[in-house]
Homo-oligomer: A and B are copies of this chain.
């Protein structure tokens, strides 16, 4: 179970982290859990600025740690709540000004319980901010043509500003073909290659930024973490998190390195980073020894590990050994309650942006 990943495998909304094959330093052996995690026990205050690891601030943080033994907790839950409130206000403003309400459509195929839960959560999130949500639920044995027809209808429907296809699709369907059918103007996932290309290119602007990496950067922004000129290491190079996160950091003038399963010395490279974004799906892989004192850590991994003391028999941990990170980093996201809540908030944000763009509403 430890190698599973427990996130929404949708084309949108939360990271689909593929099991990380193996780091060459034998990281597979790191899967055991190191002590109870302290999520929620640390100071949940919301700093507006945060010093990064210049030699001076490192020393300060190290000194502070000697007494406090804890990094700042980057409270994604609280930031996401604030963003949802901001979106709510903007949705209301647009409705009052031009009578338009943003709309998000979700296409669900089959009867997977987890998929149904994810779709329900998205609908609830839409409702909570006043975005209209629409759903098409097709049976497991629906044809690819039927899915394409639904997409085409949503593409043409002016009350829909974002379209999601909940993944995974049944095996008889061509996922790439179906995702490509979503018009780029409503691709709130931001996974269309044209969007990714624009994200990679200087002087171009993507219509949408993929939700999870956008959430990572938003957390850095909201916590006042300076990105420009900093060393950033992204661990993992998936299309939906690692790669776009690296492109986003690069757009903000970080010096970015991407560490992946073929990297020979991930620990050494990661230890050079002022900012670490980890998105590999390996519980507690990033140990204290990987972390430069004073670094800021965004942990995208949500990994279930066996826990007999939990009623469910498991609990969720990140890619980063949280307890060790707390002693060394300047700031770290908890799991759960870090990046997770940001992803749906960014989906709502993308849907709102799409409606604003369509109606040229500033």
Residues of B within 8 A of A312 (CB): none
Beyond A194-B197, A200-B247, A229-B24, whether A262 also contacts B255 by CB under 8 A is yes
Residues of B within 8 A of A201 (CB): 193, 196, 239, 243
Tell me the residues in window 333-347 of chain A with beta carbons closer than 8 Å to chain B beta carbons. Answer: none
Q: Is the CB of A262 within 8 A of B200?
A: no
Residues of B within 8 A of A243 (CB): 200-202
Q: Is the CB of A264 within 8 A of B229?
A: yes
Residues of B within 8 A of A200 (CB): 193, 196-197, 200, 243, 247
Q: Is the CB of A193 within 8 A of B197?
A: yes
Residues of B within 8 A of A87 (CB): none
- CB closest chain-B residue, reference A196: B197
Residues of B within 8 A of A94 (CB): none
Q: Is the CB of A257 within 8 A of B260?
A: no
Q: Which of B197, B257, B269 contacts A197 (CB 8 A)?
A: B197
Interface string of A245-273 (1 = CB under 8 A from B): 00100100101111110111000010000
Residues of B within 8 A of A238 (CB): 202
A72 CB to nearest chain B CB (Å)? 23
**Cα(A229)–Cα(B21), bound, Å:** 14
Q: Is A228 interfacial (CB-CB < 8 Å)? A: yes
Other than the known A196-B200, A200-B247, what 20 A-B pairs have Cβ atoms closer than 8 Å?
Answer: A24-B229, A193-B194, A193-B197, A193-B200, A193-B204, A194-B197, A197-B197, A197-B199, A201-B239, A202-B243, A203-B239, A229-B262, A229-B263, A229-B264, A237-B250, A253-B260, A255-B257, A255-B259, A255-B260, A255-B262
9 A-B pairs with C-beta separation under 8 A:
A192-B197, A193-B204, A197-B197, A200-B200, A200-B243, A201-B243, A203-B239, A237-B250, A257-B257
